[in-house]
């Protein structure tokens, strides 16, 4: 009865807690369903009947929603904070440039979405995967802040479908013997939803299944410590989709490589055997998503039974997209192709148009302010937030802080392309550090990328939706267009807060009418844009260093004096980048005093163990037998009966999982 008892205890205390916060009548509930690595572009949603029935048919599909950093931990933090990764500086999935400990060291978890919703009067629940490096050892150091009830997956078992290990409310981790991970999440989420049935204050329930992410295994022998393989389905779904294949669109394993930068140009066409393997991976992903789809069905049934469907926003999204053989790349994400950055976003709720497909442009950092707008808690959104409100309803259309109209950036920092499920690390590689601009409007659909290698790409997705022709050097592209794209990307490279929502305003501070690329293309600004310093990186680094990529000023200074009379130069304009840097530093030092940093480091420093020890410790939690797990979704009672504590020896060991190939090798 562990689960039920915990929920009852929560509700006993919740009454007194909520009594003192903002009155919450009228506020809608929010159910946020967030999968891991689910594509919007290769049809995964077409295989989810409950998502179609309850969300797509009854809500709006936002087909221009994007992750601005296409890998999970950075993307999740970006969403939680409403910021670009260059402002969170969580740029990787693991230490030293990402992960749960850096997240806390920078104080990011002390001022983020759940705490803002709490102030707005919400009861918050989180069930499933939070972020990398939240482990069996640091689960309560600290416990994630802002949740009334939380039950999160812990590493090193987050990516093992048949070894479901969770820490509930910062309690010592528990595993559920022989139970399929997504089903554990299903049962826990349904229980949480049931437990709030008679409550009147609004809830925010974030459920984050790990599916359809790949599975991690520690190898017994051989060169690699750890390898990763395609997702595993529940036993009841293993037989599905035998004949399904990755859609063969023009960018799938093309005969001629048309991508031109870094590693892309070096990739060989995939062999038939490799393509077969990728097709099987595709089927595994669809099978793994079936348990998620069943959960979606149950959650809707329960909301309906409680009569809360009309006062609940249900949002479905994923941390980043996924590619499988596109432009010859093996399975993975982290690139700037549409398959990786364009993510599902489906919204259903009061005032959201039913059965509609919308072209409104938005990004993950817009979700936090949008949820706060729905929660009537705008005043709790800090100024550092880069995102704005997405016009999901008529009311939100009039919001004073709208999301960026048509322009956003995608960023990445790493040494090479990540390949999942198979080591192609010995094959051609190249750096994966780039800045990408997307402009999407009725008139334009452009992708402009600047790589740390100095290479450039420009794709016109209106004419070339599969990114098959880099037109950066082509005759048809005018220097005037390139100047605008480069300039607005420089602004977004260092933007924060308002300058991310309307980057054109930084360039045209005295002209409110310039809000889009079309506006800025007016010939009279040609000289202004010519004078912009072009984006470049000093060197290729796997992390965000301000001195490596931020120019001291955006305008070329030598021409500043010469041309001063030709146009208005914003008074503080050349110092824009430095100002931003200063505020970033200030913000960091406010939230994490130096003593705290060293103190925490001492407490949580992982301990280096041998591979044999890591393997032994990992095996202390028994793995379920694949073909036997997941015949049915467990009841709460069954789940309680299967719960066992994670052996203390493993908890105490503080294993340095990152040194055993966890995280970075596969870009999870």
Residues that bind ligand NAG (CB under 6 A): 89, 96-97, 255-256, 543-546
Q: How far is the CB of 95 from ligand NAG (least distance, A)?
A: 8
Q: Compute the least distance from the CB of residue 584 to ligand NAG, in Å.
A: 7
* 3-class DSSP state of 655: strand
Distance of alpha carbon 464 from the chain centroid: 26
Q: Which is nearer to ligand NAG, 203 or 434 (CB)?
A: 434
Token readout for 334 is: 């982290």
- Closest to ligand NAG by CB, 89 or 233: 89
In SS3 terms, 461-498 reads as CCCCCCCCCCCCCCCCCCHHHHHHHHHHHHHHHHCCCH
Cα 344–Cα 130–Cα 612 angle in degrees, nearest 5: 120
DSSP code, position 57: T
Q: How far apart are CA 501 and CA 513, in angstroms?
A: 15
* Residue matched to tokens 């095996």: 619
Cα→Cα distances 307→101, 254, 294, 492, Å: 41, 51, 20, 44
Integer Cα distance of 282 and 280 in angstroms: 5
Nearer to ligand NAG, 256 or 595 (CB): 256
- Shortest distance, position 579 Cβ to ligand NAG, whole Å: 14
> What are the strands, taking DSSP E only, across 27-79?
29-35, 60-66
In terms of CB distance, is 252 or 544 closer to ligand NAG? 544
Q: Is the dihedral of CA 426, 428, 430, 435 positive or negative?
A: negative
Which residue, 12 or 255, is less far from ligand NAG as judged by CB? 255
Answer whether 444's CB lies under 8 Å from 463's CB.
Answer: no
Please check whether residue 542 is in contact with residue 433, taking contact to mean a CB–CB distance below 8 angstroms. yes
CB of 255 to ligand NAG, least distance (A): 4
Whose Cβ is closer to ligand NAG: residue 85's or residue 485's?
A: 85
DSSP three-state, residue 300 = helix
Catalytic residue of the set 72, 73, 495, 540:
72
Please, what is the minimum distance in Å from the beta carbon of residue 260 to ligand NAG?
14
Smallest distance, ligand NAG to C-beta of residue 645, A: 34
Count Cα neighbours of 415 within 13 Å in the Cβ-side half-sphere: 5
Q: Tell me if 517 sits within 8 A of 489, measured CB to CB.
A: no
Active site residue 72: yes
DSSP element (H, E) containing 115: helix 113-119
Distance CA 394, CA 402 (A): 13
The minimum distance between CB 183 and ligand NAG, in angstroms, equals 37
SS3 content of the chain, % helix, strand, coil (to 5): 35, 15, 45
The residue number with the shortest CB distance to ligand NAG is: 256
Identify which of residues 103 and 134 has a Cβ nearer to ligand NAG in the complex: 103
Distance in angstroms (rounded) separating the CA atoms of residues 158 and 139: 13
Q: What CA–CA distance (Å, rounded) separates 561 from 314?
A: 54
C-beta of 53 vs 588, nearer to ligand NAG: 588
| Residues 574 and 555 sit within 8 Å (Cβ to Cβ) | yes
Torsion sign (Cα): 450, 453, 459, 465: negative
Q: Compute the least distance from the CB of residue 227 to ligand NAG, in Å.
A: 26
Instruction: Give min distance, CB of 543 to ligand NAG, in A.
Output: 5
Closest CA to 354 of 396, 300, 314, 390: 314
Kindly tell me which of 89 and 160 has the beta carbon lying closer to ligand NAG.
89
- Hey, which residues are catalytic here? 72
């Amino acid at each position: 009865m562990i689960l039920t008892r915990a929920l009852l205890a929560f509700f006993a205390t919740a009454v007194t807690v909520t009594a003192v916060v903002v009155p919450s009548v009228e506020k809608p509930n929010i159910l946020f369903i967030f999968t891991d690595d689910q594509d919007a572009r290769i049809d995964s949603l077409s295989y989810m009947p409950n998502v179609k029935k309850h969300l797509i048919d009854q809500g709006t599909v936002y087909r221009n929603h994007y992750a601005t950093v296409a890998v999970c931990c950075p993307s999740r933090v970006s969403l939680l904070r409403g910021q670009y990764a260059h402002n969170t500086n969580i740029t990787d999935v693991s230490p030293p440039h990402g992960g749960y400990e850096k997240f806390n060291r920078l104080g990011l978890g002390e001022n983020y979405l759940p705490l803002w919703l709490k102030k707005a009067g919400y009861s918050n629940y989180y069930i499933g995967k939070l972020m990398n490096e939240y482990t069996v050892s640091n689960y309560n150091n600290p416990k994630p802040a802002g949740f009334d009830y939380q039950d999160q997956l812990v590493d090193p078992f987050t990516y093992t479908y048949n070894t479901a290990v969770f820490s509930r409310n910062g309690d010592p981790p528990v595993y559920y013997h022989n139970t399929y991970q997504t089903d554990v999440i299903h049962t826990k989420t349904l229980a949480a939803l049931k437990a709030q049935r008679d409550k009147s204050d609004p809830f925010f329930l974030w459920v984050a299944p790990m599916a359809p992410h790949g599975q991690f295994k520690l190898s017994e022998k051989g060169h690699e410590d750890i390898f990763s393989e395609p997702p595993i389905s529940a036993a009841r779904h293993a037989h599905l989709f035998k004949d399904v294949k990755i859609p063969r669109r023009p960018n799938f394993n093309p005969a001629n490589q048309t991508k031109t930068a870094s590693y892309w140009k070096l990739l060989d066409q995939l062999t038939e055997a490799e393509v077969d393997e990728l097709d099987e991976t595709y089927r595994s992903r669809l099978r793994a998503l079936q348990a998620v789809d069943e959960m979606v069905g149950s959650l809707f049934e329960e909301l309906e039974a409680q009569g809360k469907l009309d006062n609940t926003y249900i949002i479905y999204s994923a941390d980043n997209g996924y590619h499988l053989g596109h432009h010859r790349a093996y399975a993975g994400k982290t690139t700037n192709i549409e398959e990786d950055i364009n993510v599902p976003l489906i919204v259903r709720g009061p005032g959201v148009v039913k059965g509609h497909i919308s072209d409104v442009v938005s990004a993950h950092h817009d979700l936090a302010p949008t949820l706060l707008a729905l929660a009537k808690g705008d005043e709790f959104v800090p100024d550092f937030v880069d995102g704005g409100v997405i016009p999901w309803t008529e009311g939100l259309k009039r919001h004073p802080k709208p999301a960026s109209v048509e322009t956003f950036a995608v960023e990445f920092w790493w040494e090479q392309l990540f390949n999942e499920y198979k080591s192609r690390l010995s094959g051609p590689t190249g750096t994966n550090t780039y800045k990408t601009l997307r402009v999407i409007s009725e008139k334009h659909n452009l992708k402009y990328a600047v790589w740390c290698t100095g290479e450039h790409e420009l794709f016109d997705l209106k004419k070339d939706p599969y990114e098959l022709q880099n037109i950066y050097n082509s005759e048809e592209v005018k220097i005037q267009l390139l100047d605008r794209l480069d300039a607005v990307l420089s602004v977004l490279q260092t933007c924060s807060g308002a300058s991310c929502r309307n980057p054109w305003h930084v360039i045209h501070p005295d002209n409110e009418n310039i809000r889009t690329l079309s506006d800025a293309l007016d010939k009279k600004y040609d000289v202004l844009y010519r004078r912009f310093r072009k984006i470049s990186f000093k060197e290729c680094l796997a992390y965000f260093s301000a001195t490596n990529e931020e120019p001291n000023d955006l305008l070329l200074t030598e021409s500043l004096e010469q041309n001063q009379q030709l146009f208005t130069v914003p008074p503080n304009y050349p110092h824009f980048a430095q100002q931003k840097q200063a505020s970033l530093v200030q913000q960091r030092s406010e939230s994490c005093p130096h003593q705290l940093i060293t103190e925490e480091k001492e407490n949580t420093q992982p301990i280096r163990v041998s591979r044999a020890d890591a393997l032994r410790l990992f095996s202390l939690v028994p793995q379920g037998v694949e073909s036997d797990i997941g015949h049915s979704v467990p009841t709460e009672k069954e789940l309680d009966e299967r719960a066992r504590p994670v052996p203390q020896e493993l908890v105490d060991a503080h294993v340095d999982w990152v040194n055993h190939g966890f995280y970075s090798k596969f870009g999870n």
